[in-house]
């Protein structure tokens, strides 16, 4: 084998199949849709602490997935090697919110679809998904559950506090009740009629109520 035969390999022949124009177009669309996912995530985030790093990961994930799929679809041998390489990779990132999984799969799906050359499908699908997520997120904000905790010295104060709360909120459900020598502690889930929380002040003014706490609750975290 001569020195020239080394360069007559299938690796260099595959370079001629590479299209710089298609790559640039695909990466631009992946960047635009990735930024759209970033904006939707920022507008619909309802967790405890917003992570800019995770939001930027969605943009990068769209770009990286697009690049990988473009390479895989152009070479069957490369696709088999890519499957083997990715099978040994382990990602150990903690998912704080269930909705983060949706955004991760959305970014990956966009990269796959654009890399396969189906750009209109990626654009139309992303617009529909974004609109649906924004609509449902805004609707959920108006029915945000809260956890109400109040401490009472006796049963009479407990009944008065419960009566005042039921009149002020749309829904009142007792989740737990602790009774000891120090008094009574009641934990309840409440659904607000509006954004007003002035009833908490009235609860604190009731004779026999020592402490009142109202916290926002999303099923997993409190803030």
User: What does the pLDDT read at residue 75?
Assistant: 63
User: What is the dihedral angle through the alpha carbons of 135, 137, 138, 139, rounded to the nearest 10 degrees?
Assistant: 80
User: What does the pLDDT read at residue 21?
Assistant: 86
Q: At what angle do helices 98-115 and 119-141 cross, to 10 degrees?
A: 160
User: What does the pLDDT read at residue 222?
Assistant: 41
Go through the domains of the chain in sequence order and give each one's CATH number.
3-141 (no CATH), 145-216 (3.30.70.260)
Q: CA–CA separation, 11 vs 175, rounded Å?
A: 66
In the numeric block, the tokens 């943009």 are attached to: 59
The H-assigned helical ranges of the chain are 3-7, 10-13, 20-44, 52-74, 76-86, 98-115, 119-141, 155-168, 199-205
CB 140 within 8 A of CB 46: yes
CB proximity list for 217: less than 8 A, separation 6 or greater: 145, 146, 147, 189
Ordered per-residue pLDDT tens for the chain, 223 residues: 554 554 455 544 555 566 788 889 999 999 999 999 999 998 888 766 677 888 888 899 899 888 888 877 766 556 555 655 555 556 566 666 778 888 989 999 999 899 888 999 999 999 999 999 888 876 654 467 889 999 998 888 889 888 888 888 888 888 888 888 888 899 998 888 777 788 888 888 888 888 888 887 655 444 4
């Amino acid at each position: 084998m001569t020195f020239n035969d080394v360069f007559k390999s299938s690796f260099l022949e595959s370079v001629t199949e590479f299209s710089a124009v298609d790559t640039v177009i695909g990466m631009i669309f992946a960047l635009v849709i990735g930024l759209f996912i970033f904006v939707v995530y920022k507008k619909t985030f309802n967790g405890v602490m917003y992570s800019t790093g995770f939001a930027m990961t969605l943009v990068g994930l769209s770009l990286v997935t697009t690049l990988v799929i473009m390479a895989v679809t152009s070479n069957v041998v490369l696709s088999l090697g890519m499957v083997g390489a990715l099978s040994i990779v382990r990602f150990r990132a903690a998912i704080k919110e269930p909705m983060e999984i949706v955004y991760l799969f959305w970014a990956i799906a966009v990269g796959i679809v654009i890399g396969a050359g189906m750009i209109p499908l990626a654009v139309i699908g992303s617009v529909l998904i974004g609109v649906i997520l924004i609509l449902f997120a805004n609707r959920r904000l108006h029915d945000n559950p809260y956890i109400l905790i109040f401490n009472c010295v006796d049963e009479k104060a407990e009944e008065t506090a419960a009566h005042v709360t039921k009149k002020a909120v749309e829904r009142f459900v007792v989740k737990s009740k602790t009774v000891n020598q120090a008094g009574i502690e009641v934990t309840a889930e409440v659904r607000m009629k509006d954004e007003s929380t002035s009833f908490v002040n009235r609860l604190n003014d009731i004779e026999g109520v020592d402490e009142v706490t109202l916290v926002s609750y999303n099923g997993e975290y409190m803030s």
